[in-house]
Amino acid sequence: MLGIPFLDSAFLKIFSPTTYDDRIDRLNYFVTSSLLTFFAILVSAKQYVGSPIQCWVPMEFKSGWEQYTEDYCFIQNTYWVHFDDPVPEDVNDRHGAEIGYYQWVPIMLVLQALMFFIPEWIWKTLNKQSGLDLDTIVKEAKNLRTSKCNERTKELEKLALFVEECLEFDTPHHQNRYFCFNYGYSLGSYVTLLYLFMKSLFVINIFSQFMILNNFLGTSHSLWGFQILLDLWQGREWLDSGVFPRVTMCDFKVRRLANIHRFWFLFVAASTLLNFIYFVYNTILASNRERTARLLLLHMKLDETPTDQAILRRFVHKALRPDGVLLLRFIDMYAGGMMARDLCGQLFADFYREQYHRATGSHTTKSSSPSPDDGFTETQYDPEKAKLRKEHTHDRGWALWHLVKNTSIASSERFTNGAEYIEFILFFRENDISVIHTELAILDFYLVELTYAYSADRIYRVC
C-alpha cells in the first residue's frame, strides 16, 4: 500500500521504537500511544465524517428536523436515566445525569497518546546531549553478530575503544555521593539517572491518567477501572451501572457507541510500576550492578576469593559505572548475550591492561600492602620471590608445552588457573617459541597475583 513519503518518514522517525529501552518502555510510548492514536482516528471518523448518534424521533419529524435534533443533542450533551426509573421532571435533575464526554473522546485520546509519548521524547532529546551514543553502540553490536570471524575481533576492539572513550575510562572523577549512588554528568551515572527519570515519568503518567479519566468521566470512584471489573464480575451491565451508556436521552432516546480502554490502562499501569521497581532495584544497588557484570564475565572464570571480587568491583565502579552497566544491558537485549559478553570481556581486558601500563612508569612511597583497588606499582615487586618463581616457571614451562603440543590449540581453558597460563606465556616468550595467539583477557585478570613475582617490565611485555 502506497503512503505519503514525508508523513510516513516523519511518523517512523518520531514514533518508531529505539534500541535503548526495554519492552515496558515500548509498551508505554509505542504500543499504547499507537493504540490511542488509532482509536482517536477511528472515533473521529465516526463523529466528524459519519453520524455520531442516531436519534429516534417522532414520525412527524422530517429529515432536516432529524438531522438538526441529532446535531443539537450531540453538542448539548445527553443524560442517562435507568429504564426502570421515571424521567426526572426537574431540569436540574436531568443536568445532574448528563453524559458530557462523548463528543470529547477523540481529543482526549490524542492528549492521552501524547502524554504516553512525552517521557520517551524527553529521554531521546536529553540522551543525545550525554556523549554516550547508545543508539550507535547497540546497532554496531547487533551488526557484529553477522560479521565474519576474521573481521569480528578487529571490529569488537574498535567498538570497545569507542565505548571506553564515551565512558571516559582514563578520566579521573571527583565523586559526589547521595546515599549509595554516585551522580553527575561525567561520573558515569548521567544516562542512568536520565533513564530512571523517564521511567518515573511513565509511572506518574499512568496514575495521572486514572485521575484525569475519573474527572473526565465524572465518576466518584478513585479506582474506576477496578469498579468496572467488579461490575462485570457481578454481571452488572451498562443498563444498571450507567457506564458508557449506549442509550441516552435528550428529550428523545439516543443510541451511541463508545470504546472502553480503561482495562488496557490497568495492565500498562501494573507493568510499568513493576518494571520501574525492578529497574530501580537493579540500578541503585551496587551489588546488582556487580552481579550483572559477573554474569557477563563468566567466561573469565572469576572466583569468589577476596582478590577476584575486589578486581570485579574496581572494574564495575571505576570503569563501567552505572551508565556502562545500562549500556551492556541494552546490548544484551538487542544484540544478544554473546555480544554483550564479548564486549564486556574486551572492556575488562582493556581497562586492566591500561592500569598495568600506567603502573610500569609509576612510583609510589606506599609502605603498606597494596589492595587490588589501589592499582599496581613497581613497589609490589619482590626480587627473591621473582627468582623462585622464575625457576619454578622454567620447570613447569616444558611440561605445559608438551601438554598443549598434544592438543589442537593453546587456550587458557586448558589450565587449572590463570597463573599456569601466565607461566605458559612467559615461558614461550623467554624461549622464543612461536605459538598461536590466544585470548589474553584471563591473563590480565591474574596479573594481580603475579605482580608480586614479576617485574613491571616483564608484566608490560606480556600485556
For residue 358, pLDDT beyond 70: no
Query: Mean pLDDT across the stretch 227-243?
Result: 62
Strand partners, 254: 55, 248
pLDDT one-digit tens code per residue, 279-294: 888 777 888 888 888 8
Would you state the pLDDT for residue 156?
84
Looking at residues 80-91, what average pLDDT do you find? Answer: 64
**Contact criterion met (CB below 8 Å) for 300 and 71:** no
Q: What is the pLDDT of residue 204?
A: 92
pTM across the whole model: 0.54
The residue-averaged pLDDT of 113-124 equals 90
The pair phi, psi for residue 69, each rounded to 5°, is: -60, -45
Assess whether pLDDT exceeds 70 at residue 453.
Answer: no
Q: What is the mean pLDDT of the chain?
A: 66
With a cut of 60, say whether residue 459 has pLDDT above it: no
Q: Is the dihedral of CA 430, 347, 418, 356 positive or negative?
A: positive
Distance CA(397)–CA(386), nearest Å, equals: 15
Average pLDDT over residues 201-228: 75
Where do we find the cell 485521575?
211
Mean pLDDT of 309-331: 85
